[in-house]
Amino acid sequence: MKKVVLSKDLKEKVPDYCLAVMSFEIKIEGTSDSLKDEIRKVENEVIKDLTLENLLKQPRIEAARVGYRRLGKDPSRYRLATEALLRRLIKGNGLYFINNAVDIGNILSVRTQRSVAVLDEDKIIGDILIRIGEEEPYEGIGRGNINIKNIPVYCDQIGPFGTPTSDTPRTRITEQTSNVLLFITSFNGKDGLEEDVTMAKELFTHFAEVSNFSLEIVE
């Protein structure tokens, strides 16, 4: 599994920032009927329990937005991926069916209310540093160029490949992916991360062919 380190500046500004890092082998497949059923179940859970008004009062969403503000970023303009997913579902727009790995990641993000990155580990070169973004080029998946200044950025030897707002095409999951690196990002400390990891293992084991799990909590 890749070595992941948090920058000193990031920890000073957002002391409770941490993440669960998981690595595992996987067989990428299309969205199965059982996984589609689970996605629809998640969509119904959100519609039943959340509104646009109470979404921002959810402790994990609130903590993440506070974290962005501490870094100098407007969380309403540069939404975290999990908030964007939840808002989409609250409005009655369903999740896309992409592939088993990405779909499970979306379910995990919705249920944990944390930003989840599902990455092709083989496309990440060298160790990983999570630091505060600068004025630098960055392309988000399906979003074009994104201003990543003052948000957490995941970087390898090549450069930035992900953020809690959007990942890049370079490390996206494809049919050729065989090794996944998964980040579950917390802005309010380790509380609940072990449960989130357990949920991740259960979801990936149930809905995909996976093996050789590795785990590290980085803080």
pLDDT at 111: 97
- Beta strands of the chain (E only): which ranges? 4-6, 18-27, 116-120, 128-132, 139-140, 144-145, 152-155, 160-162, 179-186, 209-218
pLDDT at 219: 95
Structure pTM?
A: 0.95
pLDDT at 142: 82
What 3-state DSSP class applies to 62? Answer: helix
Conformation bin of residue 144: beta by default, left when phi > 0, alpha when psi is -120 to 50: left
pLDDT at 43: 97
pLDDT at 159: 96
pLDDT at 195: 97
pLDDT at 169: 95
Q: Which domains does the chain have, with CATH numbers?
A: 4-218 (3.50.40.10)
pLDDT at 143: 80
Question: Residues for the chain: how many in total?
Answer: 219
pLDDT at 45: 96
What 3-state DSSP class applies to 136? Answer: coil
pLDDT at 155: 98
Instruction: Chunk the chain into consecutive blocks of 10 residues (it has 219) and report each block's average pLDDT, rounded to whole numbers.
Output: 96 98 98 98 96 96 98 94 96 95 98 98 98 93 89 97 95 97 97 96 98 97
**Torsion, CA 119, CA 60, CA 48, CA 111, rounded to 10:** 30
